[in-house]
Amino acid sequence: MAYIFDKNGDTINPATEESLAELVALSGGGSSAGLPVLGSDATGQDAYAEIVAVSTQIAHYLHVAVGNFGMIVSLDGGVTDHFAIPANTERLFPGLSIPALASIRTRNLVPGSDYTNAYASVW
């Protein structure tokens, strides 16, 4: 038998097919079905540009990858620099709370050095 736990590790109730389906629906992500949404950008720029948008539910995971030169990632439409991703790297950021309909944007890590092959998935 499976159990659902709250953030303190206390048992809420035995997990049933119905309670697990409700939990998945409430904690969805990138798409309305809770599946990842992928965006890409072949060549970077010095100003922020949208790489992917969160769908209609809060997203809790972000996976990013970039080729040459590295990039900065913003989870709030370019208002704040959130993550610096070095060249030829991928990173997974679990446990986030990215608002529904948020615009995830990227820009060059080093001005004038356009990154290549950037990808971002959110769910």
Indicate the pTM of the whole model: 0.73
CA distance 41 to 91: 16
CA distance 10 to 103: 35
Per-residue pLDDT of the chain (123 residues; tens, 9 = 90+): 444 454 455 555 554 545 444 444 444 444 556 789 999 999 999 999 999 999 889 999 999 999 999 999 999 999 999 999 999 999 999 999 999 999 999 999 999 999 999 999 999
Q: How much is the pLDDT for 123?
A: 94
Tell me if the domain spanning 29-122 has CATH number 3.40.50.300: no
Neighbour tally for 68: CB within 10 Å: 13
